[in-house]
């Protein structure tokens, strides 16, 4: 393979990045997604706390009302049904928020990239040697370090909250259930805010690291860049040969049309333009052939061989050559001059026919 043993010093090309996306290799930070989901879920829980508390209160009252009939089949079924309804209705907002925010976080980073190659079984990943290498790679070390920092932050925050709120916790023994729940929710929200701030810092550094690692993994050698250019743009030598062959074919077709021209305007050897006027094809005279230098000489040569008249007019030849492509009608500002040339040619041909 090209580039084996060569140092990867070149930035990844757009094609390299697109190919990586097709394989599911995209730049994303899981910590950033986790942070968004964490904040979203706890925000939803805090907003819907009165609704959750109301449902739990209704369920608790239902249990207390049926406590005397506990164990009977007539009560067990409805009790279990009520439990399922309450559990689903209370957890649905948080679960829905987690699902939606997870999709948004993933889509925002990957632009909703869908890679079917990523879900195909890759038996190369089952290689134990490759697995050991991944375990002791820089990426694994960074992941281990991040998780360790997260656990340390969580322990410190739990300790500080319990230490700072030990008095409110002791007072909960004399509070109502509702007041105790409100106090616990406040402490929990305080913990979430602190954890979120710490996770935000971790997510920022994780994103910067992931971007660096992603770019590093896609770096290319000079030979890989050259090979890719040949694949996408084509080999320059082959491309030039194809262009040359195309020009030769175009010139051959053009020379075949020169005998059908009415007149060739020349300058005198550097520029030649063959014009034809056919009312059935075009409303004005049009170019059937044009060329510079050796092509111009060839047009004049073919015209003389086929008795096509020529006229030397340097300004007109250069102007029409610059303004028109083969097959195009001449611009309107040249109608008068070309019409005079054609009238002159037609009169000369008519005189020759009379002399014959």
- Domain region containing 86: 27-112
Tell me if 307 is assigned to some domain. yes
Tell me if 288 is assigned to some domain. yes
Q: Examine the fold and report which residue of 112, 143, 170 is the final residue of a domain before the chain moves on.
A: 112
Tell me if 62 is assigned to some domain. yes
Q: How far is 117 from 112, CA to CA, in rounded Å?
A: 15
Tell me if 287 is assigned to some domain. yes
Q: Sort 122 into a burial class: Cβ within 10 Å, 0-12 / 13-18 / 19+.
A: exposed
Task: Output the pLDDT for position 272.
Answer: 92
* CATH number reported for the structural domain that contains residue 276 in this entry: 3.40.1690.10
Q: How far is 25 from 113, CA to CA, in rounded Å?
A: 10
Q: Which residue has the higher pLDDT, 290 or 20?
A: 290
97, pLDDT greater than 70: yes
Structural domains in the chain (count): 2
Residue 32 near residue 208 (C-beta atoms within 8 A): no
CB count in 10 Å sphere of residue 30: 16
82, pLDDT greater than 90: no
Tell me if 18 is assigned to some domain. no
Q: Examine the fold and report which residue of 84, 112, 140 is the final residue of a domain before the chain moves on.
A: 112
119, pLDDT greater than 60: no
Residue 268 in 3-state DSSP?
coil
Chain segment 205-243, per-residue pLDDT in tens: 888 888 888 888 888 888 888 887 777 666 666 677 777
Residue 229 near residue 15 (C-beta atoms within 8 A): no
Tell me if 126 is assigned to some domain. no
Q: Quote the pTM value.
A: 0.48
Tell me if 277 is assigned to some domain. yes
Residue 205 in 3-state DSSP?
helix
Q: Examine the fold and report which residue of 97, 112, 127 is the final residue of a domain before the chain moves on.
A: 112
Tell me if 239 is assigned to some domain. no
Task: Output the pLDDT for position 217.
Answer: 86
Tokens of 178: 């509702």
């Amino acid at each position: 393979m090209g580039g084996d043993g060569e140092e990867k010093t070149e930035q990844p090309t757009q094609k390299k990045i697109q190919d990586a996306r097709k394989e599911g290799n995209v730049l994303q930070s899981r910590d950033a997604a986790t942070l968004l989901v964490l904040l979203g879920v706890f925000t939803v829980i805090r907003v819907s706390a009165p609704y959750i508390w109301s449902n739990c209160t209704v369920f608790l009252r239902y249990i207390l009302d049926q406590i005397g009939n506990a164990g009977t089949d007539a009560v067990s079924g409805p009790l279990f049904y009520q439990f399922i309804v309450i559990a689903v209705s209370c957890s649905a907002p948080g679960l829905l928020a987690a699902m939606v925010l997870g999709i948004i976080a993933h889509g925002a980073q990957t632009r909703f990239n869908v890679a079917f190659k990523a879900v195909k079984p890759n038996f190369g990943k089952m290689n134990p040697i490759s697995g050991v290498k991944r375990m002791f790679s820089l990426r694994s070390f960074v992941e281990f370090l991040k998780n360790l920092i997260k656990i340390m932050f969580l322990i410190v925050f739990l300790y500080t909250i319990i230490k700072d709120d030990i008095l409110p916790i002791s007072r909960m023994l004399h509070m109502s259930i509702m007041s105790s729940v409100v106090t616990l929710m406040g402490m929990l929200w305080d913990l979430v805010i602190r954890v979120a701030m710490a996770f935000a810092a971790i997510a920022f550094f994780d994103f910067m690291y992931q971007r660096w690692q992603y770019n590093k993994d896609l770096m290319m050698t000079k030979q890989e860049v050259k090979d890719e250019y040949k694949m996408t743009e084509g080999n320059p030598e082959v491309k030039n040969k194809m262009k040359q062959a195309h020009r030769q074919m175009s010139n051959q077709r053009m020379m075949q049309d020169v005998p059908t021209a009415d007149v060739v305007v020349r300058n005198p050897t550097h520029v030649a333009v063959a014009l034809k006027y056919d009312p059935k094809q075009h409303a004005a005279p049009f170019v059937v052939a044009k060329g510079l230098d050796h092509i111009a000489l060839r047009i004049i040569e073919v015209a003389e061989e086929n008795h096509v008249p020529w006229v030397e007019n340097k300004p007109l030849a250069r102007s029409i050559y610059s303004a028109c492509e083969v097959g195009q009608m001449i611009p309107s500002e040249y109608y008068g001059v070309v019409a005079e040339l054609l009238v002159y040619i037609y009169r000369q041909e008519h005189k020759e026919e009379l002399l014959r």
